[in-house]
Amino acid sequence: MSVFKKVEDGCEDCSLSQSRRGFLRQSLLAAAAALITLGVNPAAALADSFEPIDGRRGHDQTVKYPIPAADGVQIDKDNQVILVRWQGAAYAFNLSCPHQNTALRWDDADHRFQCPKHHSKYRPDGVFIEGRATRGMDRLSIQREGNDLVVDVDKMFKQDASAAEWGAAVVSLTN
């Protein structure tokens, strides 16, 4: 499996020149070769990043993901989405910490999110535990479509400003 993302054709407003693309491609190939030399599988090194089935933030306001088969966390860095399946429910969160927008990380050992900047902690359902933040993780609108989850990245709910919408931004997977 290739670890490199396909550069989409027809990118009319793409500002990268061909020579710069070539340079970036060579750099990525060199990095992959270095990882292989060190005995690291480049695909494994990117294991916390995954791509949606369909949609892309900035081009389409919804992105679609297959329902995760088991409890866990997947991070779609391109679309700034955290997708969670946890204890019979699915959630989508904005990747940024609600305090000062640092990318959140998942601590698999403790089953919680942690901010690397000021160390706020959150439960898998986004509920705030402790730290400098003053609300839970920002949830995105999420709907079930058959075996997929459709996330509307333009509909983000802050727990303190939109408590009802925040609470409703969940898909039950128990039925």
What's the min distance (Å) between Cβ of 99 and ligand FES?
3
3-state secondary structure of 63: strand
State the Cα angle at 57 between 51 and 59, rounded to 5°. Answer: 115
What's the min distance (Å) between Cβ of 73 and ligand FES?
17
Cα(72)–Cα(35) distance, rounded to whole angstroms? 26
Q: For residues 94 and 120, which CB has a smaller minimum distance to ligand FES in the complex?
A: 120
Element (H, E) at 164: helix 163-168
What's the min distance (Å) between Cβ of 131 and ligand FES?
5
Cα(67)–Cα(75) distance, rounded to whole angstroms? 14
Q: For residues 82 and 90, which CB has a smaller minimum distance to ligand FES in the complex?
A: 82
What's the min distance (Å) between Cβ of 88 and ligand FES?
28
Binding region for ligand FES (CB under 6 A): 97, 99-100, 102, 115, 117-118, 120, 131-133
- CA 106, 109, 115, 116 torsion: positive or negative? negative
Q: For residues 61 and 102, which CB has a smaller minimum distance to ligand FES in the complex?
A: 102
Q: For residues 117 and 155, which CB has a smaller minimum distance to ligand FES in the complex?
A: 117
Of residues 76, 92, 77, the one with CA closest to residue 144 = 92
